[in-house]
Structure 1
């Protein structure tokens, strides 16, 4: 068991990560959020590759995104030291983009279990598997009925067949089905700590962040199942 000094040291390190997200958005955020009119993300990154430009560009971008005025919740340090849910959300901020995408796919696959199970056309099942990943797809079929029966209600209105007809995913823009999982991670973060949720939102494409502002919530039982899902993947 960790003593209080170790716990405090970890919390300070995690506060430093929060500060880094606020002061160095170019190092952390999705490219959708890295433009400064008239400069797009690619141009901004090229300019920022010159070390002397990094600090002023990060400051300008932080101001543009409203990070310099971000209200830090008074209990954030305590949450990071004592609340497992806050530690889990800060863990999301530590993940590289590929790993964050993977856990979003796990969540999406679990939420879409009923639609996948009812899918008649083999070609559509194969499309869904390609979008969500083979591992996530298999997890959905095997684990959801036993471990995550309430997560699917989050995506109950999704029509799998029509969503599969949408444009394929890319590194810059995940498929709409994957965004179902991203929205759940965002809802969990918002229920945990608004400051951390704001920063996590900038790790996702603008389309996900925009949908998050609809005020979507997550129930306690769904939170419990989400944490179990992540624990099974070695995340929690």
Structure 2
């Protein structure tokens, strides 16, 4: 982490500021270096809103080895509250970047999504990048089954675990897996498995350049409409904190 600026604190939560290339370099070192677990959080506004009322989630964020800015909302908040411009390193770009960079030398376990999604994502990664598929498992299981799934993951000895089970659930699982399994990098990546599997569309390039992909996803997918209030709550919290700081 010495190559990056010091860890920031955004609304009481950690935020590192590596660019996407720096993130890929660091995770590559971790994946192929000494086998020690590192958790990676791709922070978005929803995480901060949820973690404010979920102590276990907040603890998992604080304990993460790397926290990148996933959404444009985090970039905006850092500019408003810290006066700093932080680069984005979204989960989908991190995952695809690692798959593309390392190809057949990379061994990956795919975890999350509805039944069939992780399997399809693994198949597509093998087809597109030659990725070694350590294993796959859907995300429809409860915490009482975590130990069984962690044992299955540990037995495959992957370099990388892609965990797409939604905010909080994936971060809490990865923290537990980090302590119990020999996985160098554990990346919470939300809907990335759906993108890899082709069951969800990647936002158009122009929305990603403009930082509007979250709005595009809400508008194009009714299942996401229920998440919009959290974004509004995040904006309210940032503006309230900015007013308190006198900025």
TM-score by length of structure 1 reads 0.27
Q: Which has the higher helix share?
A: 1
Larger strand percent: 2
Larger radius of gyration: 1
